[in-house]
Amino acid sequence: MRLLASLFGFALLISVIAVGFLAKLWWQQEERAQVETAIQSEHNVARRSSLEALMAQVGGLKLRGEKLLGREAASGREFEIGFDELSYSGNVLKLRKPVCSVMDEGAVVASFSGSSVIVSVQKQLLEFIGDVVLKSNKHNAILKSSRMRWRWSDGEVLAIGGVSFALGGMLIGSADSARADTVLGEVELSGRPSLRLRISKWLKY
């Protein structure tokens, strides 16, 4: 009987020690995780604040939530860029799946979209890459290319690589490159340029 009682006491002691040891381990892990989170958030705040400072300093961009906001200097049109993911290194910002809407008096007059965009803040330049589409609601026109640069200071668009252009259902164009303005009011196709017009009246026989 005595032997049984001593064995039970010993087992209880071992259990208490084991529980205490496990509790200590868990506590240490928790503490480490908390410290890491704190460091990470401090780092993020620092990155975000330095990013915002850079954008405000040169490009006049603002980061609000998941959107970048800015203003086209020449026309005064406002624009906002929505995105899925943002990465930042040096002075270059990269956004994944960007949709940039350019607004005039509250209405969207043009929109850019592509696989990704590199925001060169100092050059005030957005470089869209991969299946880039510039849609002008103002002129019912679409410009497509594999790469497109938009300078938001003066609203100049440069499309490179397999450029195609369409105006309503009446005109389809193609070229190696194109220059245009934000709302496609003026488009210049160069490098093997061609147009196909669908006209209702031409040389009537």
Partner 1 sequence: MSMRAFVRSLPFVSLGACLLCAAFIWHMSIMGSALALQEVSGGQFEFVKVYCIGQRGSSIKLMLRKEPIEVIAYGGAVIEWSQGRIQSDTVIARLIQKGVQGKGVLGTVVSAEAMGNVSLDMRMDVEGERKAHVVGSCKRLQIDPKESLLIMTGSPQIKVSGISPEVSQALGKAGRITMSLESGELLFEPGDEQLLPEVNVQIERKPPEKTTKK
Q: Could you list the residues that contact partner 1 (CB under 8 A)?
A: 139, 141, 165, 167-171, 173, 175, 184-190, 192-205
Of 107 and 195, CB closest to partner 1: 195
For residue 124, give every residue at least 6 positions away whose Cβ sits within 8 Å of its Cβ, in sequence order, or none.
58, 59, 60, 73, 151, 152, 153
- What is the C-alpha end-to-end distance of the chain, expressed in Å? 122
| Closest to partner 1 by CB, 124 or 136 | 136
Nearest distance in Å: CB 42, partner 1: 51
Residue among 53 and 197 whose Cβ is closer to partner 1: 197
Nearer to partner 1, 20 or 191 (CB): 191
Place of tokens 């450029």: 163
Least Å from the CB of residue 145 to partner 1? 15
Instruction: Write b or e for each residue in 96-116: b if 16 or more Cβ atoms lie within 10 A of its Cβ, otherwise e.
Output: eebbbbbbbeeeebbbbbbeb
Cα(11)–Cα(99) distance, integer angstroms: 66
Give the shortest CB-50-to-partner 1 separation in angstroms.
41
In the complex, the smallest distance separating the C-beta of residue 198 from partner 1, rounded to whole angstroms, is 6
